[in-house]
Amino acid sequence: MSNAILVTKPPMFTVWWLAIRPKTLSLSWIPVLVGTSLAWQEQGRIAWIAAFAAGMAAILIQIGTNLHNDAKDFERGIDRPDRQGPARVTAMGWLTSTQVRNAAYLAFGLALVIGCYLIWLGGLFIFILGMLSIISGLAYTGGPKPIAYGWSGELFVFLFFGVGAVVGSYYLSTNHVSWTAIIVGAALGLLAAAVLTVNNYRDIVSDSKVGKKTLAIQIGQFATQIVYAVFLLAPFPLLMVGVWYGHLPILPLSALPFALWLTLIFFKTPPSPKNRNTNSSPDHPYAIGLGPPV
């Protein structure tokens, strides 16, 4: 499939900056920060170099996933120059799909190099977690049945941008797994799933036209709004368990009014890329701020 031609091309740095989708990168480094902070709070231990390396590897895997998604969606005819919503560099003709795909492989490769150090520290558990993360990143929009095109996208981000990232970074500093890390990881995973739900809700019409079967498409507008509310509000009962048993501070619970406000907005917002709320709100669930206070 030939690349589309765009009249005005941004500077190359801007093109690549847009390609990695910087607004989404908080999904990768915040869980690592949370898991490391939790290790310090519970055990008084932080493996600083390991934590930094884990954060870099997570960001690289996220960048690789974003770039691979950009290239594969164009090659499959999903993204086109007239696409509504954030620009996709391959569809706009700013970069070729080969360039973007090779950049994705480079990002995954660098993550794998860093991962070798983390495997040396954490052993088999970190090896399994890291390999599953990279394979899933490639499978997100690659392979015969891409994760992003079906109902399991939310499950993917829940596991890898929540439970896996928090528990993995906690393990690197403590050499064991705690129930608190699992609970906090689940809370962040639900917020990450809420981010994806907003994206899929926004694109219900356009995704339906190209044959995607995302969860939002399969269950419809109202049910998707309910799912979003569950993803956004369920973390608070989970965190209350940690607060009740004295393992977590109470401060993250103060974000509940903000979560309720986002939920109310979402119920009033129709699914459209042109709608400001659905076009910008993917950043909001993580902006609730459950990470740093932990």
**Any idea what the CATH number is for the domain that residue 30 is in?**
1.10.600
pLDDT at residue 175, as a whole number: 93
pLDDT of residue 234: 95
pLDDT of 277 reads 52
Q: CA-based Rg of the chain, rounded to a whole angstrom?
A: 19
- The residue whose two tokens read 């993803």 is 231
Could you tell me if residue 143 is inside a domain?
Answer: yes
SS3 72: helix
Task: Give the closest residue to 34 by CA, choosing from 157, 163, 175.
Answer: 163
Domain that holds residue 44: 12-287
* 3 within a domain of the structure (yes/no): no
Question: Where do runs of H (alpha helix) occur along 44-151?
Answer: 48-75, 97-122, 124-139
Per-residue pLDDT at 80: 73
How many domains does the chain divide into?
1
50 near 172, Cβ under 8 Å? yes
pTM summary value: 0.86
Amino acid letter for position 130 = G
Ranges in the chain, pLDDT < 50: 1-7, 279-283, 286-287, 289-294
> Is residue 293 assigned to a domain?
no
50, two tokens: 């390991």
pLDDT in tens, 174-228: 999 999 999 999 999 999 999 899 989 988 988 888 888 999 999 999 999 999 9
For residues 292 and 33, the answer to whether their CB atoms sit within 8 Å is yes
Whole-number Cα distances in Å, 33 to 102, 128, 263: 29, 20, 26
